[in-house]
């Protein structure tokens, strides 16, 4: 079995989280007999190995100039580097054709436009497409576009949304790295599996004397993070705008390129110079240096406030039996360890800072001790354990491909279904009744029943498929239901639990739902409305139910949650309701 992974970074000298995860995937699959290769469209970095086994497409100066002009990003816009140059595109296609992989694994959606173009040009490819899903990127895009112009932000936001949505809808399987992400992607109706992030046993320590000398006079906490903007945002949010609460003999040891962000303007509103004086900048370290600091530091802080997925650093700190101060976002996927010795989870910045101070104060803390069952649980953090479901999952996908036999699956050669998205101001004319004032981010429902009126001029025969992106306001994390009706009856009932707030709801508009002008209405009935002010969630005194942030429209069925479809079953009861609504 052959795997080809595609990312926007090399993995032969793994340093940051994404590199470590993909590298681990290769190691684990190879140990199970797979052949693996990696292809990267990347920015060359100092210290990169000269000879690598990866298939590399380093971005050139001309492309950097292009990105500068459009305020583009080297990751999100990476696929264009291949797709817009015939020579490079053929070279990249030749890598796939020459290798003939069973599975192409996209760790992010960024290179999907290339794979999509490849599939269109090579319809006979047997490779199954897997979205490796390090995160739900659509939810993170805001964090990486701060500082860009409005136009650039909107372009990137839309591109990320479109790429991820299209890939999740078109791929053959999805591997998510946290239960939350898995739930999100399950709405696309694809085979999916959870493979949390893990850790390798600690490497041999290096530079021990150097780091022992540099940290000797201080109580220290370790923060390890790459230059991904949310890492700096989380650090500043949780540790605060002023680090003056750290005593003269207390320091945060920062490992990784996040330091370059913290040094630059934009993260701390003020006191940047002083705050940096409370940081020991360890730079980017190899595994040996990191192992040394893990041992020397009083503990590890995981101030993560945004993002999905599971955090490699959490696994690393847990497995190495170090005291931890973390947010619950950092513990995502590791919730079972939350009450382990030395683990403190705090989501309020002040409480987080108090826990950090307590950690720094215990400079001579004895080693943490664990119960035998806790020791066993910690061993499940190793990569071979966290990725154990991946190989069978990929085997099954590849087997499906074989049973369908050649020619390649019809869908793989077809262009994606034409889809239109209505969002922001395009939603305003659709708000018929039961809504608060229009807001570009999505108008909130004001009454239990809120109604959209839609027209599909010239739609012709056949159903129209919608996917409504709905977000409920549920500050008390109660069970909330939203029922969806069309004139023809109840379509579905969606139940929202404590934590899930957003869902893409599939709705089918049949010819019978539309009148002669191709107009129809959709009725959303929510079981509860809440007020932000009464739930101490701001000063807004309105009663809010849910809001619709976007509606996708297509002639083909769109992936989305159908919930309990009961079309027709309620015809007897919906009639009176509709009568009242009219």
Partner 1 sequence: MASAAGPERRILIDVSTSLRWKGHNPVGIVRTERELVQHFLNHCPQAAFFSYDSADDAFWLVPREEVAALFPAAPTVSATTPSHGRLDEKVLLRFRSDDVVVSVGLQWDIAYMVRLYAEKKRRGMFVVQMVYDIVPIVMPEYCVPGMERKFPQFIVDAAWTADLIFCISESTRRDLESYYARVGLKAPVMARALLGSDIPTASLADPAGKLGLVPGEFVLYVSTIEPRKNHQMLFNIWRELHETARESLVPLIFVGNVGWNTADLMHFIKASEALHPDYDRVMSDVADAELDWLYRNARFTLYPSLYEGWGLPVAESLARGKVCIASNASSIPEVGGPLSDLLDPLDHVGWRDRIRHFLTDGEALAAREAEIREGFEPASWGACMRRFQDDLFAALPR
Q: Considering the complex, state which of residue 345 and residue 356 has its C-beta at the smaller distance from partner 1.
A: 356
**Strands 449-455, 431-433: parallel, antiparallel or unpaired by DSSP?**
antiparallel
How far apart CA 127 and CA 484 sit, in angstroms, is 38
271 binds partner 1 (CB under 8 A): yes
Least separation, in Å, of the C-beta of 330 and partner 1? Answer: 24
276 binds partner 1 (CB under 8 A): yes
From 220-228, 272-280, 393-401, 465-473, give the range in contact with partner 1 by CB under 8 A: 272-280
Q: How many CB atoms lie within 10 A of CB 221?
A: 26
Judging by beta carbons within 10 Å of its beta carbon (0-12, 13-18, 19+), is residue 403 exposed, middle or buried?
exposed
116 binds partner 1 (CB under 8 A): no
Q: Considering the complex, state which of residue 330 and residue 356 has its C-beta at the smaller distance from partner 1.
A: 356
Least separation, in Å, of the C-beta of 348 and partner 1? Answer: 16
How far apart CA 303 and CA 238 sit, in angstroms, is 6
State residue 228 phi and psi, 5-degree precision: -80, 120
Cα-Cα end-to-end distance for the chain = 60
- Residues forming beta bridges with residue 453, ordered by sequence position: 521
- Residues forming beta bridges with residue 36, ordered by sequence position: 3
277 binds partner 1 (CB under 8 A): yes
274 binds partner 1 (CB under 8 A): yes
Least separation, in Å, of the C-beta of 247 and partner 1? Answer: 6
45 binds partner 1 (CB under 8 A): no
From 269-277, 321-329, 393-401, 420-428, give the range in contact with partner 1 by CB under 8 A: 269-277
249 binds partner 1 (CB under 8 A): yes
313 binds partner 1 (CB under 8 A): no
From 70-78, 244-252, 477-485, 516-524, give the range in contact with partner 1 by CB under 8 A: 244-252
From 49-57, 186-194, 243-251, 286-294, give the range in contact with partner 1 by CB under 8 A: 243-251
278 binds partner 1 (CB under 8 A): yes
Q: How many CB atoms lie within 10 A of CB 461?
A: 5
From 178-186, 238-246, 375-383, 442-450, give the range in contact with partner 1 by CB under 8 A: 238-246
From 110-118, 266-274, 341-349, 474-482, give the range in contact with partner 1 by CB under 8 A: 266-274
Q: Considering the complex, state which of residue 273 and residue 458 has its C-beta at the smaller distance from partner 1.
A: 273
245 binds partner 1 (CB under 8 A): yes
Under a CB-based contact definition with an 8 Å cutoff, are residues 353 and 330 in contact? no
Give the count of residues interacting with partner 1 (CB under 8 A): 15
Which stretches does DSSP call E strand in 103-143? 103-106, 128-131
Q: How many CB atoms lie within 10 A of CB 166?
A: 17
Q: Considering the complex, state which of residue 276 and residue 554 has its C-beta at the smaller distance from partner 1.
A: 276
Q: Considering the complex, state which of residue 154 and residue 249 has its C-beta at the smaller distance from partner 1.
A: 249
Helices and strands (DSSP H and E) totals, the chain: 20, 22
**Strands 449-455, 519-526: parallel, antiparallel or unpaired by DSSP?**
antiparallel
Torsion of CA 521, 527, 531, 535, to 10 degrees: -150
Alpha-carbon Rg for the chain, nearest whole angstrom, is 26
Of 45, 94, 247, 399, which one interacts with partner 1 (CB under 8 A)? 247
State residue 268 phi and psi, 5-degree precision: -90, 130
Each residue 167-206 as x (binds partner 1 by CB under 8 A) or -, in order, gives: ----------------------------------------
Q: How many CB atoms lie within 10 A of CB 97?
A: 15
Least separation, in Å, of the C-beta of 245 and partner 1? Answer: 6
Closest CA to 189 of 579, 580, 582, 562: 562
From 41-49, 88-96, 237-245, 487-495, give the range in contact with partner 1 by CB under 8 A: 237-245
What residues from 207 to 236 belong to the interface with partner 1 (CB under 8 A)?
217
Least separation, in Å, of the C-beta of 232 and partner 1? Answer: 17
How far apart CA 317 and CA 222 sit, in angstroms, is 10
Name the token pair of 558: 């769109």
Would you give the distance in Å from CA 435 to the centre of its chain? Answer: 30
Closest CA to 126 of 101, 99, 107, 90: 101
**What's the per-residue H, E or C state across 89-104?**
HHHHHHHHHHHCCCEE
Of 46, 68, 209, 270, which one interacts with partner 1 (CB under 8 A)? 270
From 45-53, 247-255, 379-387, 409-417, give the range in contact with partner 1 by CB under 8 A: 247-255
From 108-116, 200-208, 241-249, 466-474, give the range in contact with partner 1 by CB under 8 A: 241-249
CA distances from 406 to 57, 95, 127, 190, 523 (A): 31, 21, 12, 21, 45
537 binds partner 1 (CB under 8 A): no
Of 98, 248, 366, 415, which one interacts with partner 1 (CB under 8 A)? 248
Under a CB-based contact definition with an 8 Å cutoff, are residues 198 and 382 in contact? yes
362 binds partner 1 (CB under 8 A): no
From 3-11, 155-163, 242-250, 458-466, give the range in contact with partner 1 by CB under 8 A: 242-250
Q: Considering the complex, state which of residue 242 and residue 531 has its C-beta at the smaller distance from partner 1.
A: 242
Q: Is 318 helix (H, G, I), strand (E, B) or coil?
A: helix
172: DSSP letter = S
Under a CB-based contact definition with an 8 Å cutoff, are residues 253 and 282 in contact? yes
Cis before 528? omega within 30: no
Q: Considering the complex, state which of residue 242 and residue 527 has its C-beta at the smaller distance from partner 1.
A: 242
Q: Considering the complex, state which of residue 253 and residue 430 has its C-beta at the smaller distance from partner 1.
A: 253
244 binds partner 1 (CB under 8 A): yes
Q: Considering the complex, state which of residue 193 and residue 351 has its C-beta at the smaller distance from partner 1.
A: 351
Binding residues vs partner 1 (CB under 8 A): 217, 242, 244-245, 247-249, 270-274, 276-278
């Amino acid at each position: 079995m052959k795997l080809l992974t595609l990312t926007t970074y090399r993995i032969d000298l793994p340093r940051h989280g994404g590199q470590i995860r993909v590298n681990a995937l290769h190691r684990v699959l190879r140990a199970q007999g797979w052949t693996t290769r990696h292809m990267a469209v990347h920015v060359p970095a100092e210290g990169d190995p000269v000879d690598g086994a990866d298939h590399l497409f380093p971005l050139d100066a001309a492309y950097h100039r292009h990105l500068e002009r459009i305020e583009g990003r080297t990751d999100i816009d990476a696929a264009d580097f291949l797709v817009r140059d015939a020579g490079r595109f053929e070279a990249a296609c030749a890598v796939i054709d020459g290798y003939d992989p069973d599975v192409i694994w996209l760790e992010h959606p960024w290179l999907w436009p290339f794979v999509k173009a490849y599939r269109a040009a090579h319809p006979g490819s047997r490779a199954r497409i897997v979205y490796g899903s390090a995160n739900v990127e659509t939810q993170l895009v805001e964090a990486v576009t701060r500082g860009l112009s409005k136009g650039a932000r909107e372009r990137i936001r839309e591109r990320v949304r479109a790429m991820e949505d299209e890939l999740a809808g078109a791929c053959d399987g999805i591997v998510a790295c946290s239960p939350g992400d898995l739930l999100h992607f399950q709405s696309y109706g694809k085979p999916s599996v959870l493979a949390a992030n893990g850790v390798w046993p600690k490497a041999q320590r290096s530079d021990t004397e150097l780091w022992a000398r540099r940290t000797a006079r201080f109580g220290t906490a370790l923060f390890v993070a790459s230059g991904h903007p949310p890492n700096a945002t989380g650090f500043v949010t949780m540790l605060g705008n002023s680090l003056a609460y750290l005593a003269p003999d207390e320091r945060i040891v920062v490992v990784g390129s996040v330091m370059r962000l913290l040094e630059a303007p934009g993260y701390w509103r003020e006191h940047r110079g002083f705050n940096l004086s409370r940081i020991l900048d360890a730079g980017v370290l190899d595994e040996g240096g990191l192992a040394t600091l893990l041992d020397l530091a009083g503990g590890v802080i995981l101030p993560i406030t945004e993002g999905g997925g599971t955090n490699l650093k959490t696994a690393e700190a847990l497995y190495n039996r170090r005291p931890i101060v973390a947010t619950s976002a950092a513990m995502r996927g590791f919730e079972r360890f939350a009450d382990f010795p030395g683990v403190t989870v705090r989501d309020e910045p002040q409480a987080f800072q108090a826990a950090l101070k307590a950690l720094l104060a215990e400079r001579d803390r004895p080693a943490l001790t664990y119960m035998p069952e806790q020791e066993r649980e910690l061993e499940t953090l190793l990569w071979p354990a966290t990725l154990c479901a991946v190989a069978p999952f990929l085997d099954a996908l590849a087997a499906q491909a074989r049973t369908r036999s050649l020619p390649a699956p019809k869908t793989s050669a077809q262009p994606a279904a034409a889809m239109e998205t209505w969002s922001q101001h395009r939603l305003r004319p659709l708000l018929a009744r039961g809504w608060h004032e229009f807001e570009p981010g999505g108008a909130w429902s004001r009454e239990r029943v809120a109604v959209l009126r839609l027209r599909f001029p010239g739609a012709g025969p056949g159903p129209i498929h919608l996917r409504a992106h709905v977000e409920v306001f549920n500050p008390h994390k109660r069970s909330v239901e939203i029922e969806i009706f069309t004139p023809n009856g109840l379509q579905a009932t969606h139940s929202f639990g404590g934590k899930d707030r957003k869902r893409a709801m599939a709705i089918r508009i049949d010819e019978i739902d539309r009148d002669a002008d191709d107009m129809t209405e959709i009725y959303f009935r929510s079981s509860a409305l809440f007020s932000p002010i009464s739930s101490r969630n701001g000063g807004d005194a309105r009663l809010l139910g849910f809001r619709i942030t976007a509606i996708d429209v297509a002639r083909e069925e769109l992936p989305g949650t159908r919930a309990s479809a009961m079309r027709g079953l309620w015809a007897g009861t919906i009639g009176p309701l509709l009568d009242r609504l009219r």
